[in-house]
Amino acid sequence: QVQLVEAGGGLVQPGGSLRLSCAASRNIVHIYEMDWYRQAPGKQREWVASITNGYSTNYAASVKGRFTISRDNAKNAVYLQLNMLKPEDTAVYYCHAYLSGDYWGRGTQVTVSS
C-alpha cells in the first residue's frame, strides 16, 4: 500500500507557472510508473503525464512542451512543473500509482484565471 499527498496548487494568471508535488508514504523506487491526472469541473478525470522508475516520461498532447514530470526516488516524491498555464488547465490534479491496485491522492486545486 501507499498513501499519496499532493501539494503546490493555487491560483495563477494565464502564462504563469506552478510546481506540484506528490509525497508518497513509502519507498517508490520499486513503483514502476507514477502518474498525474486532472479533473476539470463537469469533466472526466484525464491522464496528464507519466514517469517510470527508469525516468522515461510521457505526456498528454494538451500539455506536452508546457508541463514536466519528474521523480526523486530518494525523497519518495513525484513532481509536475506546470509552465505557460492556460485557463483550460484549471482542474484538480491527482497523483496516481499502481501497486497491486490503484492508489490516488486527494488532489490539489489549480486555478488559472486573470
- Residues 2-54 have pLDDT tens digits of 999 999 999 999 999 999 999 999 999 888 999 999 999 999 999 999 999 99
Rg (CA), the chain: 13
Annotate 3-39 with b (16+ C-beta within 10 A) or e (fewer). Answer: ebebebbeebeeeeebebbbbbeeebeebeebbbbbe
99 pLDDT more than 90: no
**How many whole angstroms separate alpha carbon 87 and alpha carbon 29?**
34
Angle at the Cα of 58 from the Cα atoms of 109 and 4, rounded to 5 degrees: 40
